[in-house]
Amino acid sequence: MPEKKRSSPAAPAATPAAISAAVGRRLADFWIDDEDGRLHPAEKQLLDCVRRGAVCDLGAQQPSVFTPDNLVRAEFLRFVCLGGDDQTPVHEHGVLLQGIYIEGDFDLFGAIAPRNISLTHCKLAGQLILTDCELQTLVLSGSSIRALKGDRCQLGGSLKLDEGFLAEEDVRLAGARIAGDLTCRGGEFQSSDRALVIAKARIDGDCLLDGGFFADGTVDLSGCTIVGTLSCVEGRFTCRDQALFGPRLSVGHNIQLGAGCQVAGQVSFQGSTIGGDMIFTGGEFNRSDDPEKAVETTCINLRGATIAGTLFWRQITHANGKLDLAGASCLTINMDWESWQLPSQIRLDNFSYKGFNQLDETTSTRFWINWIERQPERHLTRNFRPKPYQQLADVLQSMGHEQEAIGIRVERKRRQAEYARKHEKRSGTLISHGFRILTSIWNRVQDLTVGYGYRPGNAVLYLLAISAIGAIIYQAAAIHGIMAPTHPLIYKEAIWEEKAGPIEAPEIPASCQRNWVYPGGKNGDLCTRTMPSEYSTFNALIYSIDIALPVVDFRMQSDWSPRVVDWKSGRHDWPGWWVRVWEWIQIGLGWTFSLLFVSALGGIIRRD
């Protein structure tokens, strides 16, 4: 039988002894041959301090050049930070240095540093390489480095790049895990491209880019998770394109970009999730030397962002460009009109919110129409978006601003009607053209009468107005003898009262024929007594209401009518004809307003 192949044994895991035997893990690896001793003076002092857990203080100021008294080799510092060896143990306080000059690249790639490291006011001439390493707290306050490469590093404490920290090139912390805070307060990050990259990192504390923070290049927060607060108060961000780039960012509490925050470039939190408030109050955004060019860019991009708290947009000093809130959501909005009108346009399509805070008591329907018309012109005309109007109206109604809500709903219907008339695509047939004209007329009638169904009371006001006008016209007609009774018995069965008993009724006097309502003259009383007692006495106002309201019958319209033929000559009585024409108009208007009122009140006219 063929002999079975033996599998090769797995390589043994590295032992502590093997690690200590690696180059750079023994003190003897760093001995130098000079007359001053085996180590540089600063390195000797450093060894003594780490044994005692004391601060190795070589000066309160960052050194600009190295000297034998302040020079520490980066390889030696790495040896100490990784715990030294049996002869040079490191105290639990960690490595605490101040005012030293570090020569070369400080390379902790893949290393595990068991103690805290504090390098304050130090000068690192090379790069700080933290890729895939594991650290506790790392403090670089007031220090300067050429660059920091820290992708996927893990810190059991905080990372401090603050109080005058300077990075001449990019600082990368993509995919890093920081159990404490990332503090860059007062730090300066200089890079022509990406000054600070924290993409896909997780920070269990706060991320502080404030208090004099300055980045000359993009600050990349894309896909980052910050459990605490992101603060950019009094921070400065400068970039030709994306100054603060944070799509899909997740922040557990507030994002603060106000109170002195200055951004020369764009801010993007597209698709981000904010567990608290989004605060822009007092900020300055996309301030540019070329304002006309800046107007065409997007200064703030919150498209699709979810804000659990309030969106603060107050006391903004500059906001050149577009504010994009499309698809975003927040609990409430806190804004002032001066700040709201600073962006060149504001995208509101599918932006949802539930209320407003600190509204001015003078806000009116006109204010809210101006507020919502900050949208792009195309979203108001040829590419009309009705959702922002509906959202605003619902919010105003829920807040108790009923009339303002109705005004916004009416404005939405007007915009929709204008869009249908000018921009809606239809076939070019004659029928389609005629239908568009009729639809436009109908929309106009609804607007003028019942406010597209939202103001049914307007129809009542119109009915009262035409009734009042009619009353004036009919009263004038009655004074001039145009109004006459319609019942034939008035002419055939006139009544004459006689004490001795009834006698043959006399003919109706000519003065009655001339004016039945106000006959005047010596036969005026006779005309009045010849009218049947059950017949209606003419009243211009009641007659006008009877004409205007189709569902009301006071019997005034049936008993009286304008005379269109002269009683004496038998010719056309043109003043009477004109009063009759007005009657027809009033009847038509009365039916129209009444039907519109009933339709609006009953919801037959579709409002939403």
Q: DSSP labels for 319-335?
A: E-SEEE-TT-B-SEEEE
For the chain, domain boundaries = 34-122, 189-358, 458-594
Q: What is the pLDDT of residues 361-410, one digit of tens each?
A: 778 889 999 999 999 988 888 888 899 999 999 999 999 888 899 889 88
The average pLDDT across 489-497 equals 49
pLDDT of residue 325: 96
Indicate the DSSP class of residue 173: -
The burial of 256, by beta-carbon neighbours within 10 Å (0-12 exposed, 13-18 middle, 19 or more buried), is given as buried
For residues 11-34, average pLDDT: 64
Q: Say whether pLDDT at 498 is over 50.
A: no
Task: Give the mean pLDDT of the chain.
Answer: 84
Of 604 and 87, the one with more pLDDT? 87
The answer to whether 580 and 562 have CB atoms below 8 angstroms apart is: yes
Question: How confident is the model at residue 6, as a pLDDT?
Answer: 43
Tokens read off for 276: 């608290």
Pick the closest to residue 247 from 302, 197, 205 (CA basis).
302
pLDDT over 60 (residue 2): no
Q: What is the largest CA-CA distance in the chain?
A: 162
Q: pLDDT higher for 476 or 594?
A: 476
Predicted local distance difference test score (pLDDT) of residue 8: 40
∠ CA 331-332-337 to the nearest 5 degrees?
A: 155
> Residue 77 corresponds to which tokens in the numbers above?
């510092």
Average pLDDT over residues 107-119: 94
Range of lowest pLDDT (67-71, 415-419, 426-430, 549-553)? 426-430
Q: What residues are paired with 266 via a beta bridge?
A: 242
Mean pLDDT of 249-266: 93
Per-residue pLDDT at 9: 42
> How many other β-carbons are positioned within 10 Å of the β-carbon of residue 59?
14
Mean pLDDT over 350-355 rounds to 94
Highest average pLDDT, of 439-448, 509-518, 548-557, 565-574, comes from 548-557
- The torsion angles phi and psi of 197, rounded to 5 degrees, stand at -115, 115
The pLDDT, as a whole number, for residue 507 is 54
Does 458 score more than 90 pLDDT? no
Instruction: Give the single-character DSSP code of 37.
Output: B
Q: Residue 308 has what pLDDT?
A: 96
What is the pLDDT, as a whole number, of residue 288?
A: 67
| pLDDT score at 20 | 54
Question: How far apart (Å, rounded) are the C-alpha atoms in residues 283 and 487?
Answer: 82
Which residues are within 8 A (CB) of 493 and not within 5 positions of it... i.e. 6 or more apart?
505, 532
Q: Which residue has the tokens 């916004």?
A: 408
Q: Are 114 and 81 in contact (CB under 8 A)?
A: no
pLDDT at 528: 66
The answer, yes or no, to whether residue 37 has pLDDT greater than 70, is: no
State the average pLDDT over residues 198-212. 96
Residues in contact with 134: Cβ distance below 8 Å, sequence separation at least 6, in sequence order:
111, 112, 113, 153, 154, 155, 156
Residue 525 clears pLDDT 80, i.e. is over it: no
Q: Which residues of 538-574 are buried (b: 16+ CB within 10 A; e: fewer)?
A: bbbebbbbbbbbeeeeeebbebbbbbbeeeeeeeebe
The whole-number pLDDT of residue 3 equals 44
In angstroms, rounded to a whole number, what is the distance separating the alpha carbons of residues 516 and 536? Answer: 12
Phi and psi angles of residue 555, each rounded to the nearest 5 degrees, phi first = 65, 5
pLDDT of 410: 86
Whether the predicted pLDDT of 273 surpasses 90? yes
Query: What integer pLDDT is reported at residue 499 of this predicted model?
Result: 37
Q: What number is the average pLDDT over the span 329-337?
A: 94
Q: Which helix (H) or strand (E) holds 311?
A: strand 310-313
**Which of 78-87, 323-332, 426-435 is modeled with the greatest confidence?**
323-332
Calpha distance 508→523 (Å, rounded): 10
Task: Say if residue 342's pLDDT is above 80.
Answer: yes
400 Rama sector, left if φ>0, alpha if ψ -120 to 50, beta otherwise: left
